[in-house]
Structure 1
């Protein structure tokens, strides 16, 4: 996502590549009302993922990462605060799918305290040095970056499921239908792989996605406040 709200070529390529993967799960379970999970039972990662992307979870504004009850706080910042401060985005605005603007600082999604302060925080801590350095040097770093981009993509779309397509017409429905997030379970599973050691075996490589890096023009106001960084694969 560019500072002015435009989606970069890299993000489009990212979504298109992931769109070829699907994980199958019980569709009937997704249509049933949400039930509280017994505290003594640990849910499997695929169950967490299926619950989180279900239409019920999205419609009821449950935690976007696990589908459980969210915290009462602000939720998870889709664009992390450390990145907003680094590029002076905190008071800037980006363009949503319907053409309206939203401040970066308000781009949050429902999240529970365990996910926010747990594996999501670990992802942010792990990816920050990569962003600071400006290069992706290993396969493990590609996976770290993939998890982080998965969180951002899902976060943007989950946010837009809760915003009207046309504010003047309440019957216009949301920008993104809640049921559409189910189509991103493959992407959500990449995010969930941060919860425990995960090995991917794919036909086209060692990871279920490709990282494509492109150079994008940087607005002058950002150039003046920070040094330019371009992502690239190291040889």
Structure 2
């Protein structure tokens, strides 16, 4: 994350961004809502600020419908018709389109139309402007925008809100899915105040890719995520590829740099290669995990959170699982076929061990 020259009023930042000098007049501590407590708020409270929702048109807490996949994204990169493919507990594969009613979550007017809209506008301009312009967007904005999507999808996936009947019903995910985003839900307060994190590593990873984009690589968008550990989101948006790992303390960034940083530096990837990397990232992230303890001091303008992450064991090594994930993410079944034990097929490297440049 770039060093902050001036102290922003909103966003998520590391204490290192402020040269260790943070002016937060804060006091007291706050607790953390359990997943069951979160579920009790669906439809009656904003999913971002958790304030009670009203029907009063003059109130900033009036209930609105937040599009998790924003209208500009649907207009420029998606088409009408298909729905979200419901997650099987591990992935949501949005390789086609998304129905206009499948991604709506109850949100207060202030969070939706003011606070989140400011971040949304910056993301929209960056993505529509292409890869070079997208690279100028702050990591704080990218993290918050991505958090809104993944947390919102899990939020309504666990307990779906029907805006016509004004009733909640059990969704397609178990409530345990919310447990993987406890810390992320706290960091989302960066939409409405300055959140400063004290930790050796920032509690997320962001990987950005330049993608080949032409009619022959249509569709020029796609969405994948991992609901179980590690909670990960990947988006293809024209010439922009984005992978965000949540609560992984920079692991995916380290993993990518160690395995592909030199090989892919400066390369413009075919979308299928991007999806292979996304699948491999999900697999690698699942080999370990983090237990995190934290302390918080907070007021209306800011939050200071100190994190103490401890690594824990994840999935065992399993080349076939890796191949299956890559095949699912790329939608290329042959990538699930392992020819030699201990190896997995790849689109990234040719038979001589060099980068494989796939034509658009």
TM-score for both structures, normalised by structure 2: 0.41
SS in 1 for 2:78: coil
Higher strand share: 2
Q: Distance in 1 between matches of 2:32 and 2:76?
A: 34
Aligned-pair CA distance for 1:92: 3.4
What is the aligned counterpart of 1:161 among 158, 163, 178?
Answer: 158
The alignment partner of 1:156 has SS state of helix
2:53 to 67, 70, 73: 70
Q: How large is the Cα RMSD of the aligned pairs? A: 4.0
- What is the number of equivalent residue pairs in this alignment? 177
Contact 1:71–1:113 (CA under 8 A) maintained in structure 2: no
Aligned-pair CA distance for 1:197: 2.9
Cα deviation per residue 1:113-159 (whole Å; 9 max; x = unaligned)? 22112211122112112212333435x61111111000000011011
Among candidates 69, 88, 91, match of residue 78 of structure 2: 88
Q: Could you say what secondary structure the match of 1:118 adopts?
A: helix
Aligned to 1:120: 116
Which of the two has higher C-alpha Rg? Answer: 2
- 1:137 matched residue in structure 2: 135
**Which one scores higher on RCO, CA 8 angstroms, separation ≥ 6?**
1
1:57-88 deviation line (CA, Å, top 9, x unaligned): 32341321122223555521110111111113
User: Could you list the runs of 5+ residues in structure 1 that have no partner in the other structure?
Assistant: 1-43, 164-172
Partner in structure 1 of residue 107 of structure 2? 111
| Contact 2:87–2:172 (CA under 8 A) maintained in structure 1 | yes
Indicate if the aligned counterparts of 1:70 and 1:112 stay in contact, CA closer than 8 A.
yes
Q: 1:55 to 1:118 in 2, by over 3 A?
A: farther
The 3 A distance-change label for structure 1 pair 69 and 90 is farther
Give, in angstroms, the shift of residue 54 of structure 1. Answer: 4.7
What is the TM-score with the length of structure 1 in the denominator? 0.59
CA distance in 2, matches of 1:82, 1:228: 13
Say whether 1:202 aligns with 2:192: no
Distance in structure 1 (CA, Å) of the matches to 2:76 and 2:54: 27
Between structures 1 and 2, the one with greater helix share = 1
CA separation of 1:90 and 1:186: change in aligned 2, threshold 3 A: farther
